Amino acid sequence: MKQDQITQNNGAILKARARALAKEEDQALAPRSFIEITEFSLAAETYGIESSFVREVYQLRDFTPLPGVPSFVLGIVNVRGQILSVVDLKKIFNLPAKGLGELNKVIILDNGRMEFGILADAVLGTRPVALDAIQASPVTVTGIGAEYLKGITGERVVILDAKKILDDEKIIVNERVSGSE
């Protein structure tokens, strides 16, 4: 008898739980879509960029600065025999410069047509971010940097638009010496 009662109670509890669970599921019925981002820091800020555009993360050991390039081009690096340019986003976002050190990484972006690295003060890791958790950037963020932003998350992680950055004509350096011979 007692046994029965317990079973019954248990049954009630389980049912209640099932209901609760079912309800929870109801709420999240619209499946949330996620993107995976690679998180990195620039000065005091945290940024994220879609991992699907990240070819690899490369430890910045040495780089060669180039004369005559815009300041946002840090220089060129040798990635296993391939020469790639490195863009310093801090120069574009007007962030304070920081000395280069052990932690500096180059995040190599690639969309099949364009390939270059962006300098990170440190790479924090990768994690999924729900698309609906990304809000539009605050209106105060304007300027050239603004068009590279996809939005920000609740944790104030700035999500960059890798597609736009890679496709941007303005980031391409194509300069000749003017003047006659």
Partner 1 sequence: MDNDNEEFLKRLRETFRVESGEHVRAMSAGLIELEKTTDPKKQVDIVETMFREAHSLKGAARSVDRPDIESLCQALEGQFATLKRQEAALTPALLDLLHQTVDGIARLTSYAEKGQTKITQQQTGELENPMPRAGVESPFPQADTVRIPTTKLAPLLLQAEEMISAKMAAGQRVRELQEIDRILSLWKAESEKWKDRRSSGLEWDEWLERNGERMTALQSQVVATTKAALQDQRAFRRMVDDHLEAMKELLMLPVGSLVEVLPKLARDLSRAQGKELELTIQGAEIKIDKRILEELKDPLIHLVRNCVDHGIKKPEDRAREGKPPCGTIRLSFVVKDNRQMGISVSDDGSGVDIDKVRVAAAKLGLPQANAEKYSGPEETLQLIFHSGISTSPIITDISGRGLGLAIVREKVEKLGGTVSVTSEKSAGTTFRLLLPMTLATFRGVLVRVRSRVFVLPAINVEHVLRARAADIKTIENRETIQSGGQILAMARLGDILELPVRENGFEAKKTSGETAASYMPVVILTFAEKRMAFLVDEVLQEQDVLVKGLGGQLKRVRNIAGATILGTGKVVPVLNVQDLMKSAVSSTAGARKAAVTGTTPARTGRILVAEDSITARTLLKNILETAGYQVATAVDGVDAFTQLRSNEFDLVVSDVDMPQMNGFELTTRIRADKKFVELPVVLVTALESREDKERGIEAGANAYIIKSSFDQSNLLEVIRRFL
List contacts with partner 1 (CB under 8 A): 62-69, 73, 76-78, 81-85, 87, 113-116, 171-181
| Cβ distance to partner 1 smaller for residue 77 or 159 | 77
| Cβ distance to partner 1 smaller for residue 73 or 159 | 73
What residues does 82 pair with on adjacent strands? 79
| Cβ distance to partner 1 smaller for residue 44 or 83 | 83
Separation between Cα atoms, residue 166 and residue 160, nearest integer Å: 11
Name the 3-class secondary structure at 45: strand
From the CB of 101, what's the least distance to partner 1, in Å?
13
From the CB of 102, what's the least distance to partner 1, in Å?
16
From the CB of 136, what's the least distance to partner 1, in Å?
28
Identify whether the C-beta of residue 71 lies closer than 8 Å to the C-beta of residue 173.
Answer: no
**Closest Cα partner for 120 from 41, 32, 33, 36?**
41
Separation between Cα atoms, residue 96 and residue 78, nearest integer Å: 26
Torsion from C-alpha of 5, 8, 13, 16, nearest 10 degrees? -140
| Cβ distance to partner 1 smaller for residue 31 or 68 | 68
Say how many C-beta atoms besides its own lie within 10 A of residue 54's C-beta.
19
From the CB of 175, what's the least distance to partner 1, in Å?
5
